[in-house]
Amino acid sequence: MDRKRETWATKAGLILAAAGNAVGLGNLLRFPSKAALYGGGAFMLPYFISLLLLGLPVMLIEWVIGRYAGKRGHGSMTGILGLFFGHASWARAIGSLGVAIPILIVMYYIWIESWTLGFAFLSLFGAMPEPVITSDPHQAMEPFVTFFKTYTAPSFTAGVFLWITLVLNWIILQRGVVKGIEITAKIGMPALIFMGLLLGVISLSTNNWIGIEGLKFIYNLNLSGLKDPMTWIEASGQIFFTLSLGMGAIATYASYVKPKEDVIKAGLWTAGINEFVEVIIGASIAIPAAFAMFGALAIPELAKEGTFRLGFMTMPAILMSLPLGKLLAFVWFILLFIAALTSSLALTQPLVALFEDEMKWSHTRAVTFSMLLVVLGAHLCAYIPNFLDELDFWAGAVFLLLFALIEIIVFIWVFGVENFYRELTLDTSIKLPKSFVYFTGTISPLFIFFIGYFWFSEKLLDVLKEPDPYKWLARIFILLFIVFLAVIAVISRKRVLEGPRI
C-alpha cells in the first residue's frame, strides 16, 4: 500500500490551520481567568518570560521536527520518537504518551465545546435566563449560575448538542487535512478574529469606557508574581496549553507541510496570531466587561469560581443586559465555538495520524476508530463527576510538562545539535544562530525542571491524598488509555519496518 500523505494546499491555509490549532478556549476563557486569579499585572511578567524562554523555542522545535518526520512518513509522536531511536519499541511506547495527552484533553475539551454551541443557540432563541438589573454581581449572576448547573448536569439538551458537536468534528476529520481541517480554518479564523475584535470593542466601551480599567488591571505589570511559584506554574502552564505545545499537536500539523516549507515562519505566525488573540482580544473581552458591570472588586471574586464562571455565567449576564443582548450573547458563544472547534480537530488528528502512519489503516478506519474513542471519553466526562477535572489536571498540566521535557531532550540532544541545527536552517528564510540551539537545549529543560519541582512539592501530594472514588476511576481510565496506546505503538512497529518506505 503506497499511500501518499496529504499536504496543506496553500500557505494561507497552513497558517490559518495552525492558528486554529493554537487559538482556542485557552485564549478566551482560560487566559482571562488565570490572569484575574493571579492578580492581573502580577501574572503577566511570568507569562511573557515563559512565552520567550519556553513557548517560542518549543514552538519552533515542534515545527522543525514535524516537517522532518512528515518527510519520513510519520505524523504522530509515536512514530516521531521512534525515528530517533531506530524505531525501538520502547521509544515508540514513550512517544505514545504524546498521543495520549491530546486525546485525553479532547475528551473533555469537546464536551465544553458543545456547551458553547448549545449556549449560542439557546441565547439566540431566547432560552437563556432574563438578566436581573442590579450592581450586585452575585444577584445578577444567580439565574445564570443555576442555568449553567442545570445545563451541564447534564440536561437532555446538553446531550443533543454534544452529539451535534461530535458528529461535526467527525465529518470534518473524515474529509481530511485539506478538505476538512484547512477549509474549516479558512472560513472560521477570519470570522473569529472579526467577532473577537467586535466583542473587544463592545466590552471596553461598556459604561462610557470603564471597561478599559479592566484592560489596565491586566497590564498593570508588577514584579510581585515573580516571587510566587504558583504564579510561575500557572503562567508557564498557560503558555504550553495556549500554544498547543508539549504533546505533538503542533508537530502533527507540521508533518503535513510540503517538504521545503519555511517552518520558522510558520511557527512565528502561529505563535503571533495566538498571542494576538490572547493578550489583545482575550484580554479585552471578559475582564473588561465584568469590570464595567460590576467594578474592580468583583474581578478576583469571579475568577476564584473557576474557568467557566467568567465565560458561561458572567459574560451572558453582562451581554444580555445590553441592547441586542441576545444577539451579542450568540456572537460570544459562536466565537468560543469556532475557537474550540478548530482546536478539537487539532487535538484528535494526532491519533488519526497514529492509526494511518503506524498501523497503516485507511483514513476512514483511522477516523472512525479515533472518534469512537473521543465519543466514549466525552460521555465519561459528561456523566461522571470529576472526570473533566482529573483529565485536565493530568493531561492538561502534569503530562504536558513531562512530555515537553522529553521532546527537547530527544530532538536536540539525542538527535544532536548539528543535526537539529541543519534541520532548523534548512529551507528557512530566518537563519537562527547556533547559540539558539544551545540556549534552548539548556534553558528550556532547566526551566521546566524547576517548574516541575515546585509543582510536585506544592500540589502533587495533596492531590493524591484525596480519596474521591470518581477521581480514582478517572485515573485508572487515564492509565489504561496510555497503556492501550503504548501497546499499539509496539505492535505497529513491524508494519513500519516492513512497510514501503515513503
Dihedral sign from CA coordinates of 210, 215, 340, 14: positive
SS3 28: helix
Which of 71-79, 187-195, 340-348, 472-480 is the region at the interface with ligand PHE (rule: CB under 6 A)?
A: 340-348
Q: Which residue among 33, 169, 236, 343 contacts ligand PHE (CB under 6 A)? A: 343
Within 10 angstroms of residue 53's Cβ, the number of other Cβ atoms is: 18
By beta-carbon proximity to ligand PHE, the closer residue of 51 and 437 is 51
Interatomic CA distance for residues 484 and 474, integer angstroms = 15
**Minimum distance from residue 274 beta carbon to Na ion (Å):** 5
The answer to the question of residue 314 lying near Na ion (CB under 5 A) is: no
C-alpha cell at 164: 451535534
CB 340 within 8 A of CB 112: yes
**Minimum distance from residue 324 beta carbon to ligand PHE (Å):** 28
Instruction: State the binding partner of 347 from Na ion, ligand PHE, none, CB within 5 to 8 A by kind.
Output: ligand PHE
Interatomic CA distance for residues 261 and 436, integer angstroms = 20
Q: Which residue among 20, 26, 288, 377 contacts Na ion (CB under 5 A)? A: 26
By beta-carbon proximity to ligand PHE, the closer residue of 320 and 367 is 367
Interatomic CA distance for residues 428 and 103, integer angstroms = 31
Query: How does 14-50 read in b/e, with b if 16+ C-beta sit within 10 Å?
Result: bbbbbbbbbbbbbbbbbbbbbbbbbbbbbbbbbbbbb
**Minimum distance from residue 349 beta carbon to ligand PHE (Å):** 9
The answer to the question of residue 242 lying near Na ion (CB under 5 A) is: yes
Query: Would you give the binding string for ligand PHE spanning residues 291-330, x where CB under 6 A is met?
Result: ----------------------------------------
**How many chain residues touch ligand PHE (CB under 6 A)?**
15
By beta-carbon proximity to ligand PHE, the closer residue of 123 and 242 is 242
**Minimum distance from residue 343 beta carbon to ligand PHE (Å):** 4
The answer to the question of residue 20 lying near Na ion (CB under 5 A) is: no
SS3 358: helix
The answer to the question of residue 22 lying near Na ion (CB under 5 A) is: yes
Measured CA to CA in angstroms, residue 192 lies from 96, 173, 253, 313 at distances of 32, 20, 20, 21
Among 224, 279, 319, 335, residue whose Cα is nearest residue 55 = 279
Subset of residues 14 to 73 that bind ligand PHE, contact rule: CB under 6 A: 21-22, 24-27
The answer to the question of residue 282 lying near ligand PHE (CB under 6 A) is: no
Where does this chain bind ligand PHE (CB under 6 A)? 21-22, 24-27, 102, 241-242, 244, 247, 249, 343, 346-347
